[in-house]
Amino acid sequence: MTSITLAGVTKKFGNQPVLAGIDLSIADGEFCVFLGPSGCGKSTLLRMIAGIETITAGELQIGGQTMNDVPPAERRVAMVFQNYALYPHMSVFENMAFGLRQAKTPKAEIDQRVREAARILQIEPLLERLPRQLSGGQRQRVAIGRAIVRKPDVFLFDEPLSNLDAALRVHMRTEIANLHRDFSQASVIYVTHDQTEAMALADKIVLLRAGADILTKGSIAQIGAPLELYHRPKNLFVAGFLGSPTMNFLPATVEAAKTDGVTVRLESGEALSVAVDGAGLAKGARVTLGIRPEHLEMAAEAVAGQTITHTVEAVENFGEYSYLYLQSPMPAPFIAKVSGDAVGMAGRAVAFQPLAHSCHLFDEAGEA
């Protein structure tokens, strides 16, 4: 049983608060991704779980036991670092065996465990090489192998793929998913700033946000399954972080609000009825309407209350789909992602209809 629980976990570096009041639980065997912009405290949180960073306040439990003061080697966790952290003068075999030797594991068992991990990771032919004789992807496999041989209860990955090129990143991502599915039922915590990696790998995403300025601290913006965060973002930060291109945000005023739908007046003067729960919204309230680019469809004609009409300023064609950049008074780009080619669309006024149940409304505080 290796669940992980954090209760009120806080971190300060000197007087500088970095994380505050982190409450979180990770189930046995779960693949949990810490996602968020650079500097929001993801690595610090991971390092506290690994035991290589102290916890200023709050409690960390692994497998039901308080771990705050337990040294890293006694936590049954294994960490894989972004820069691989291999010993340059040691062979691949020795790098993978190092932790086991430290733990005084019998020689025959070390040999058996290293070879088994090397077989799983397909690096058997590389066991006698030095790290500098390996490619980036091979080094990352060795770093993962070093974690696997320890048979930990929890794997901790800190941006393990960020030093690899794009194609190799996708390849290694699927290998890590396969490893978790096929060879190890251990819990995984995986840090990344890459939303695609998070969406592809996670059972559960913990999306962190940084404070508004350097004196405020990182906190949890939302916890949930990848599609839950995509379809039901709790606030503007989550809505704007997940999705590429990001969600369009249109300032609007509430005209009528019921539990089964809300009509808003946009700055263009057009009204739009959207199927969201309007409980708690008053007529005249200032809101933000959120529509993802992929949820705007071109309509055959404008229909009052159901479509919005915008002039296409520019088009990017990618073959399979196109981005239409729409004229709007907002500083951020307003984008519709449509399937197929959109040649010759620039300059035209087009009516768009949001897909049913795809719109989001956020109140003045940015909450859904």
Cβ closest to ligand ADP, residue 193 vs residue 231: 193
Q: What is the DSSP letter of 227?
A: H
Total residues contacting ligand ADP by CB under 6 A comes to 10
Tokens linked to 285: 């309230």
Within 13 A of 68's CA, how many CA atoms are on the CB side? 13
Q: What is the distance between the alpha carbons of residues 192 and 190, in angstroms, rounded to a whole number? A: 7
Q: What is the distance between the alpha carbons of residues 147 and 31, in angstroms, rounded to a whole number? A: 16
Containing 363, the helix (H) or strand (E) segment is none
Smallest gap, in angstroms, from Cβ of residue 54 to ligand ADP?
A: 11
Smallest gap, in angstroms, from Cβ of residue 162 to ligand ADP?
A: 11
Smallest gap, in angstroms, from Cβ of residue 1 to ligand ADP?
A: 28
Answer yes or no whether residue 6 interacts with ligand ADP by CB under 6 A: no
Dihedrals phi, psi of 118, to nearest 5 degrees: -65, -35
Smallest gap, in angstroms, from Cβ of residue 78 to ligand ADP?
A: 19
Q: How far is CA 110 from the centre of its chain?
A: 35
Cβ closest to ligand ADP, residue 43 vs residue 307: 43
What sign results for the dihedral spanned by CA atoms 256, 262, 263, 267? positive
Q: What is the distance between the alpha carbons of residues 13 and 69, in angstroms, rounded to a whole number? A: 18
Cβ closest to ligand ADP, residue 48 vs residue 274: 48
Smallest gap, in angstroms, from Cβ of residue 56 to ligand ADP?
A: 12
Smallest gap, in angstroms, from Cβ of residue 220 to ligand ADP?
A: 13
Residue by residue, DSSP assigns 73-96 as: GGTTEEEE-TT----TTS-HHHHH
Cβ closest to ligand ADP, residue 42 vs residue 141: 42
Q: What is the distance between the alpha carbons of residues 189 and 6, in angstroms, rounded to a whole number? A: 13
Smallest gap, in angstroms, from Cβ of residue 156 to ligand ADP?
A: 13
Q: What is the DSSP letter of 235?
A: B
Contact pattern for ligand ADP over residues 220 through 239, marking x by CB under 6 A = --------------------
Of 70, 121, 132, 71, give the one whose Cα is nearest residue 96. Answer: 121
Answer yes or no whether residue 217 interacts with ligand ADP by CB under 6 A: no
Q: Which residues contact 222 (CB under 8 A, 6 or more apart)?
A: 205, 207, 229, 233, 234, 235, 238
Containing 303, the helix (H) or strand (E) segment is none
Cβ closest to ligand ADP, residue 213 vs residue 260: 213
Smallest gap, in angstroms, from Cβ of residue 81 to ligand ADP?
A: 12
Cβ closest to ligand ADP, residue 19 vs residue 96: 19
Cβ closest to ligand ADP, residue 11 vs residue 360: 11
Answer yes or no whether residue 156 interacts with ligand ADP by CB under 6 A: no
Contact pattern for ligand ADP over residues 52 through 91, marking x by CB under 6 A = ----------------------------------------
Contact pattern for ligand ADP over residues 14 through 53, marking x by CB under 6 A = ----x-----------------x-xxxxxxx---------
Answer yes or no whether residue 192 interacts with ligand ADP by CB under 6 A: no
Dihedrals phi, psi of 124, to nearest 5 degrees: -55, -40
Which residues contact ligand ADP by CB under 6 A? 13, 18, 36, 38-44
